[in-house]
């Protein structure tokens, strides 16, 4: 056959396509230009797959990718916004504000607990037997030096009245006082590790009872009583260091030498106010 025989074999699946030529001698030569074009198209197609993610099975392979599918990756910050959790770029702002808030809350509770301890430690005192009064020690830590057996249980105060006197002292600055439930919990002997405890606990010999039961005391049918203590209307606070005296004055907003009047036990107004627990 004197003429060149050109046979074109086409493998079409859109991409890639191959062109083969056969010469009379039976050799085959792969078209270099067609091969380079195919490699280039394959490279482009692979890059598109990497950038755009998994292909949509509902679209043909030759379909063009939607530009909206690739736009989200153009900006590195946009990647963070797509995540399931909240993404905040300013780490310093995120950590600083909660720490300040937590510190203030902790400081406020610590001051309020200390203020409650100071009030009950110096504006009340134990009622002891005559032979035990000489053993009592008054210092910056309150009263100490007595035994459980020295406490007289025939004298008592109603806890409801003690709560009223506490809130009367703090009525100028009620934000520094304990809330209703916190005050009652503190007086019942509940406190956190490291916090000053209620000074007239059962462990120290001050019994609890319901001596006023069924007597309708101040509208209460079953008030709790604390035995072995009495009120100190005008305590001598000179045994306290100057730093603690100033702290006490700042907490209550009063002069250092104020006295607790008898009507303070009738102060009920605070019980109707909204409570701000710490």
SS3 call for 275: coil
Q: What is the pLDDT of residue 6?
A: 42
Q: What is the pLDDT of residue 191?
A: 85
| Residue 106: its H or E element | helix 91-122
Q: What is the pLDDT of residue 50?
A: 47
Separation between Cα atoms, residue 52 and residue 61, nearest integer Å = 13
Q: What is the pLDDT of residue 56?
A: 53
pLDDT tens string 1-54: 444 444 444 444 444 444 444 444 444 444 445 555 666 665 556 555 444 555
Structure tokens at 272: 């109707």
Structure tokens at 94: 């995120």
Confirm whether pTM is higher than 0.75: no
Q: What is the pLDDT of residue 212?
A: 79
Instruction: Give me the phi and psi of 185, to 5 degrees please.
Output: -65, -40
Nearest one of 146, 187, 143 to 165, comparing CA atoms: 187
Structure tokens at 47: 């890059």
Q: Cβ distance 127 to 230 under 8 Å?
A: yes
Q: Residue 185 burial (CB < 10 Å; 0-12/13-18/19+)?
A: middle
Low-confidence ranges of the chain (pLDDT < 70): 1-107, 274-278
Q: What is the pLDDT of residue 76?
A: 47
- Please name the residues in contact with 53: beta carbons below 8 A apart, sequence gap of 6 or more: 69
Q: What is the pLDDT of residue 33?
A: 52
SS3 call for 238: helix
Residue spans of the domains in the chain: they are 20-82, 100-272
Q: What is the pLDDT of residue 236?
A: 93
Separation between Cα atoms, residue 273 and residue 227, nearest integer Å = 29
């Amino acid at each position: 056959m004197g003429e060149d025989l050109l046979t074109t074999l086409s493998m079409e699946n859109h991409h890639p396509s191959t062109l083969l030529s056969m010469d009379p001698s039976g050799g085959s030569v792969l078209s270099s230009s067609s091969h380079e074009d195919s490699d280039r198209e394959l490279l482009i197609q692979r890059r598109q797959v990497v950038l755009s993610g998994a292909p949509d099975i509902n679209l043909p392979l030759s379909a063009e990718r939607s530009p909206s599918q690739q736009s989200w990756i153009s900006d590195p910050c946009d990647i963070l916004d797509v995540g399931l959790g909240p993404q905040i770029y300013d780490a310093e702002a995120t950590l600083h504000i909660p720490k300040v808030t937590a510190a203030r809350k902790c400081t406020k509770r610590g001051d309020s607990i200390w203020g409650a301890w100071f009030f009950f430690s110096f504006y009340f005192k134990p009622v002891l037997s005559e032979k035990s009064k000489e053993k009592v020690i008054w210092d910056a830590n309150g009263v100490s030096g007595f035994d459980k057996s020295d406490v007289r249980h025939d004298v008592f105060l109603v806890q409801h009245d003690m709560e009223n006197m506490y809130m009367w002292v703090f009525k100028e600055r009620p934000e520094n006082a304990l809330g209703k439930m916190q005050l009652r919990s503190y007086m019942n002997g509940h406190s956190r590790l490291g916090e000053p405890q209620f000074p007239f606990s059962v462990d120290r010999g001050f019994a609890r009872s319901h001596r006023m039961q069924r007597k309708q005391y101040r509208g209460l049918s079953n008030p709790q009583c604390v035995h072995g203590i009495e009120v100190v209307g005008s305590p001598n606070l000179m045994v306290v260091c100057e730093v603690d005296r100033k702290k006490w004055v700042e907490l209550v907003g009063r002069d250092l030498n104020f006295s607790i009047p008898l009507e303070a036990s009738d102060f009920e107004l605070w019980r109707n106010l909204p409570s701000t627990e710490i």
